Amino acid sequence: MAAVTTSAQAAAVHHDAHAGHDNYAAQLRMNRLGLWLFFISEAFLFGGLLATRFYLWGDTRPELDQEIGLIVTSVLLISSVSMRLAETAMERGNRKAFSFFILLTALFGLIFLGGVMIFEWGLFPAIYEGHLTPWGDKYGAVVFAMTGMHALHVVSGIVFIFIVWNLARKGSFSKERHWGVESCAIYWHYVDVVWIFFYPALYLIGTAAHVTH
Amino acid sequence: MFNRDGYGIVVLIGIILAILTIIEYFMGLYHVGATLLMLVAALKAILVIYFFMHVSRLWTAEGEH
**Rounded CA gap, A49 and A149, in Å?**
9
pLDDT band at A76 (very low <50, low <70, confident <90, very high): very high
Quick one: pLDDT band at residue A2, thresholds 50, 70, 90? low
Flag whether residue B61 sits within 8 Å of chain A, measured between CB atoms: yes
Residue B60 maps to a domain: no
CB A207 within 8 A of CB A59: yes
What pLDDT does B58 receive?
86
- When the pLDDT of each residue in chain A is averaged and rounded to a whole number, the result is 90
Which pLDDT score is estimated for A7? 63
Interchain proximity B14–A77, CB inside 8 Å: yes
Report CB contact under 8 Å: A77, B7.
no
Q: Is residue B49 part of a domain?
A: no
Any domain includes A23: no
- What total number of domains does chain A contain? 1
> Is B20 a domain residue?
yes
Evaluate whether residue B35 is within a structural domain. Answer: no
Q: What is the chain B residue with the closest CA to A75?
A: B18
- State pLDDT tens for residues B7-41: 889 999 999 999 999 999 999 989 888 999 999 99
Residue B62 maps to a domain: no
B58 lies in a domain? no
C-alpha to C-alpha distance for A41 and A118, rounded to whole angstroms? 30
> What total number of domains does chain B contain?
1
CA dihedral for B15, B17, B18, B23, sign (positive or negative): positive
Q: Chain B: residue nearest A20 by CA? A: B65
Give B62→chain A minimum CA distance, Å. Answer: 10
Say if B61 falls within a structural domain. no
Phi-psi region of B31 (alpha: psi -120 to 50; beta: other; left: phi over 0): left
* Domain membership of residue A189 as a residue range: 35-209
Examine the pLDDT at A31 and tell me if it is beyond 50.
yes
Contacts of A28 in chain B (CB under 8 A): 63-64
- Confidence at A110, pLDDT banded by 50, 70, 90: very high
Q: Count how many residues are written for chain A.
A: 213
**What ipTM was assigned to the predicted interfaces of this complex?**
0.90
pLDDT band at A80 (very low <50, low <70, confident <90, very high): very high
Angle value at C-alpha A181, between A178 and A185, nearest 5 degrees: 140
Q: Provide the pLDDT confidence category of residue B1 given band limits of 50, 70 and 90.
A: very low
Does residue A24 lie within any of the structural domains?
no
CATH number at residue A50: 1.20.120.80
Q: Are A172 and A165 in contact (CB under 8 A)?
A: no
Identify whether A80 is part of a domain: yes
Classify residue B52: in a domain, yes or no.
no
Range of the domain at B11: 1-30
Distance from CA of B1 to the nearest CA of A (A): 17
The shortest CB-CB distance from B45 to any of A91, A193, A204 is to A193
Whether the Cβ atoms of residue A113 and residue A154 lie closer than 8 Å to each other = yes
Q: Position A123: which residue type?
A: L
